[in-house]
A and B are shown apart, each in its own frame.
Chain A
Amino acid sequence: MSERRLRHFGAVPGILGGFVMAGVLSFFPLWAASGAAAPASSGVGRKSCWVIMDIESFFCPPCLQPLLDFCRALPAVVQEERVQGILVSRAPEAGELAGRRRLIVQKKWLGFRQANDIRFSAVMDDSRFFSGFSKASFVILLFDEETQSLKCYSLPLGSAQIEEIMGHLLK
């Protein structure tokens, strides 16, 4: 994956794209090493679309609308088999407070997911790996096994971007 290709694909600057790729390769080495098409699996590293969600958005229900629009565009089976959510925190918290806030966010995510029939699950980024990743509240990482590349999008998405993602995920 070249820096040029990341710049071409992504909605984020090239240096950030490089950061993402470096992160993916180090954070989920098994997936990165396999190089194979992502099969339907519950493993985080095998999903071909990651939705990175800033947990602060879950304290502001109207802020969730772009995420909802994205989810609405994805068929249920695609959400279940190809998408993985990752909840990230940017707040400098530690200790008991952080632990409680983590549980609160998980509760809010549960309510939001049930009410909107969202089928993909989400994990907490306890390592805070993605905390400094992007200023956007929601970021989509799309792993394209065919071209061995990574695409990155910030929500809200335009119709062309949604089509592009759908085209990839429905392959």
Chain B
Amino acid sequence: MKLRTLFVGAVVVAAALAGTPAARGSDRLRHIVLEEVLSIGGLNEETLFQWTGVAADDEGFIYVLDAMDYSLKKFDVRGKLLKKTGGKGQGPGEFMAPRLLDGSGDSLYATDQNIAAIFVFDRNLEFKRMIPCPSLIEHLKALGDGRVAVSVLGFQEPGRILILNGEGKLLSELAYADKGSGPLMDSISFVPDGRGHFYLAYLFQDRVEKWTVEGKRLWGAKLLGGKKTGTKKIASFVLPGETCLKGIALDGRGHVFVLGGRLAKNPSRDVFVLSQDGELLTTCTLPDTSHCLYIDRAHFLYARGDDGITLKKYRIVYE
């Protein structure tokens, strides 16, 4: 009798727990903590000077683009520099202003701010080829199977995400932006979820969105209370001033991580964590300002330290 009572009680408790938000997929998240597990570079080393792009592979190797010495670097899991390539120039594999980096399979995809093409390296940092792109690249993500997604900078045109194959052929296009929103107002960081969706964070608008690859907007969210960026005039152009959001990334559980920009409460440090449905679940704050967020497949989050001379790797602890 006592055993039966105990069993029934356990079932009741389990049923009650199953009904709580804590047990409903990504909605269960209430709090996260970032634990620093690795720091690369820093004041006492000469490995990083102004890193701009980062990617990590499944074996834990970390790849970093450095704009100050025009290089692509490879580090092991302990942060030891294994190899460096690139250099300043316009020859094969050389950079003038390296910026974005992503990886998929054996390939690393890098961009140069002033070149309308994607540099392809292998994981041993050997330059392989260029993928031509119709315009300068604002953001880049590898999609697998040799495909890449890029958002392109059209100064007077609405923003678009282009999906290109390995030869640069346009496979599909996502026109996400409003017409006439103004120069650079369509600038985004984006991340695909691998299931036919794109998450977008607007750099100069308080706006996060989820789209299907076919071009249907599923939801939109504001994270900064609808703050609007100011403007500044450069020559005859009126351009947006400070950033609202800076970057977006997905963890393996489907949570959407958005880095707040200069207009966030803690500028360039606040991280907003959303569910796949756009619900704000929790926030956390980076110890140092960052220009981007990257999350690898093992749930490690990478961000900037010391204005770009340090790369920080954090374990995401879910509570």
User: Hey, which bits of chain A sit against chain B, CB under 8 A?
Assistant: 58-59, 61-62, 100-101, 103-104, 107-108, 110-112, 114-116
Contacts and interface: CB of A to CB of B under 8 A. Distances in A.
B173 interface: no
Interface of A is mostly: helix
Contact of B49 (A62, A100, A103, A110): A110
B97 A108 contact: no
Contacts of B46: 107, 110-111
A49 to B, nearest CB: 23
Contact of B68 (A101, A103, A108): A108
Nearest to A59: B307
Interface of B: 43, 46, 49-50, 52, 66-71, 87-88, 97, 113, 306-309
A71 B234 CA distance: 26
Given A61-B50, A61-B97, A104-B43, A112 B69 contact: yes
11 contacts: A59-B50, A61-B50, A61-B52, A104-B309, A107-B309, A108-B309, A112-B68, A112-B69, A114-B69, A115-B68, A115-B70
Contacts of B67: 61
Nearest to B49: A111
Given A103-B43, A114-B69, A108 B88 contact: no
Contacts of A114: 69
Given A59-B307, A59-B308, A116-B88, A111 B43 contact: no
Nearest to B99: A61
A107 B49 contact: yes
B88 A107 contact: no
Contact of A111 (B50, B52, B113): B50
Give me the 6 closest cross-chain CB pairs, A-B, nearest first: A111-B49, A115-B69, A61-B67, A111-B68, A111-B69, A107-B309
